[in-house]
Amino acid sequence: MPVNSPASSRLKLLALFAVFLLPMAVAWGMVEWRWGIPEGRTAHGRLTPDLPPLADWPLSGVAKQGEDDWLLAFDCPAPCGEQADRWWRLHRALGRDAHRVSRLRLGGPGAALPGAATAEWTEEATWRAPGRLWVFDPRGKPVLEYASEVETSLVLEDLERLLKRNPAPPDARLHRE
């Protein structure tokens, strides 16, 4: 077949159409028939859109280190030194993003570990559970909830993903200074 024959030109034109139309057809098939779209979730904790914001929780003495900080709050109804140490180590494992996260111990006797704040329950809440960990966004909305037996590495993975997907505001450094 000669280089400039009508059949060669048609073949080139069909290849050009395929290059542009094939990705569109594949994308339509993915949307319509859910091909290649993961069904599983990416967070290891339980999403908690039904919980009230932190400001509405029956707590006294709630504090964060920074205005734009994410908050790790864990329920500590009895001596919980091991659990407090666990979340302190997780906080340190965040590395350069550790300054974007504050820790809050809810209840429990004794002094808090360095860098953590404490708050006391003023009344019983229906969602309260011993050993539970909640992650709050900078506005105080609960994002994730973890049971007491969750692996620390899974919480770290979720926190790193949250902090990566939600970069610090450009003026956040000015707020700290």
Please report, for the chain, the start and end positions of each structural domain, with discontinuous segments joined by +.
1-38, 46-176
- The pTM score is 0.71
pLDDT at position 67 is: 75
Q: Per residue in 87-126, pLDDT tens?
A: 999 999 998 888 889 898 888 777 778 878 888 888 888 8
Section 133-148 average pLDDT: 90
Q: Per residue in 30-67, pLDDT tens?
A: 888 877 776 666 677 888 778 899 888 888 877 766 67
More confident of the two residues 146 and 175: 146
pLDDT at position 68 is: 79
pLDDT at position 136 is: 92
pLDDT at position 123 is: 87
Q: Which of 2-16, 105-119, 150-164 has the highest mean pLDDT?
A: 150-164
- C-alpha distances (whole Å) from 41 to each of 15, 45, 158 are 38, 10, 11
- C-alpha distances (whole Å) from 87 to each of 53, 115, 128, 158 are 22, 11, 18, 14
Residues 6+ apart with CB under 8 A from 126: none
- C-alpha distances (whole Å) from 150 to each of 8, 45, 146, 161 are 63, 8, 6, 17
**CATH code reported for the domain at 46-176:** 3.40.30.10
pLDDT at position 41 is: 61
More confident of the two residues 173 and 51: 51
